Amino acid sequence: MPKIFKRPGSKVYSYRVFKNGKDIWKSTGESDKKKAQAAANAHRAALVGALNTDELFSMLVSRLEDMPKTERDKRRVDYGHRLIRLQAEKLAFKDAWARWLSMPNKSRFGKPSANTLAGYAAIWNRFKKWANEKKIAHLHEVTRVHGQNYMADVSASGVTERTYGAHLKFLRSVFSVLEDQAGIVENPFAKLTVPELQTQSREAFTAEELKTICSKASGDWKYMIAIGIYTGLRLTDVVHLKWSDITDRITVTPAKVKRRKGSKAKIEIPIHPVLARLLEELKADRGGKPKSNLFPEMADEYDKSRPAVSAAFTAFLKDECGIAVTAEKDDDAGPRKRRASAKGFHSLRHSFVSLCAMAGVPQATTQKLVGHASPAMTQIYSHASAEQERQAINLLPAEFFGTAEE
């Protein structure tokens, strides 16, 4: 039985024990003599190997249960981290991105596009920077508490619910994919919930707003806006249009369709006279016989940062056109279900559909022109003829770019 004593000025008892020829001094951490002696006995038994690991663990758990809750939780986390650092499989944060890229099952949606990978990289780099600030070197050291704290930090940065959900889903996926590679015992993001998205609907522009937008637009945006108004194409499809896509009509496979595995469905849109004039103007500006993309610089910017290009158009609407881009709407479900309506480039697609409706274009023709997302619905609307489509496009108003006054 080791003899316990108090060192000068100390409130807790200590003891001495000899192991491997060394004189070891240990503190019991107890000020009560009876508890201190029991602790010293247990310590000595552990040091000399009289107890196996299960017995030692049981003693640790018993001691933790006797502690006040705040102290117990602090010790539990500390001990947990110490144990985790002993494991064999480790993956440092600095190596994790390359390892994730090499994994064949890194995305449940198949091979991510360059633009998608750029978004994933931004999410990962933000988290890696945060982990570095917390001095977390390896993935397996990230606890559930760390996951909660990090997502609280993401939320506090003012991101939208959709962006918050994107961060959470991706990080949860990374830790799942790298579970064996990094020796992860518990996915720190597994039990965190993705917030229920409040619906954000896009509104069509009014006729007056469209006139303002067209009168203020310049550079590539002038032609991109015209394409949006007279074709209903999404921003990503407008940005990546090629001259080879344009004959007497525009023929493209929308990016949204390309993302569906094995789908190559194209849409064909007749060219409105106003748009034809503007495309000839753009071609002349490009030297008469341009190759590849209509908007090469814009395409490069978009591939680097899609949100930046969308934000540039939103800023144009607000700052140069004086158009309010967001508005709160009450919902019948109550105050917690307030929905934000918004105006952006996608509103041109809604405007195209609205203009078709106002011009009396049959719904079947409109649906075929915009390219319906459902294959079943596409089949239903497929009876619209090429001539009906051209007549429909020609019914759209021509005054937005000043043609009515010419």
Nearest-CA neighbor of 236 among 143, 147, 183, 310?
A: 310
Give the count of alpha carbons within 13 A of 143, CB side only.
14
pLDDT, mean of each 10-residue run, the chain (406 residues): 79 76 74 83 65 65 75 72 62 93 75 82 94 92 90 83 88 92 87 68 82 94 95 94 93 80 76 94 86 91 86 92 75 43 85 86 79 46 58 80 54
Q: Which DSSP symbol is given to 109?
A: T
Indicate the pairing of strand 339-342 with strand 200-202: parallel
Q: What's the confidence (pLDDT) of residue 332?
A: 45
- As a whole number of angstroms, the distance between CA 75 and CA 299 comes to 54
Please give the C-alpha separations between residue 252 and each of 97, 170, 241, 388, in angstroms, as whole numbers.
34, 30, 8, 19
Phi, psi for 27 (deg, rounded to 5):
-95, 140
Count Cβ atoms below 10 Å from residue 75 Cβ, excluding itself.
14
Q: What's the confidence (pLDDT) of residue 338?
A: 42
Give the count of alpha carbons within 13 A of 264, CB side only.
1
Q: Considering the domain 201-405 in this protein, what is its CATH number?
A: 1.10.443.10
Strands (E), 263-319: 267-270
Contacts (Cβ under 8 Å, ≥6 apart) of 120:
112, 170
Instruction: List the chain domain ranges.
Output: 4-66, 93-182, 201-405
Tokens of 251: 């023929």
Contact of 302 with 162, CB cutoff 8 Å: no
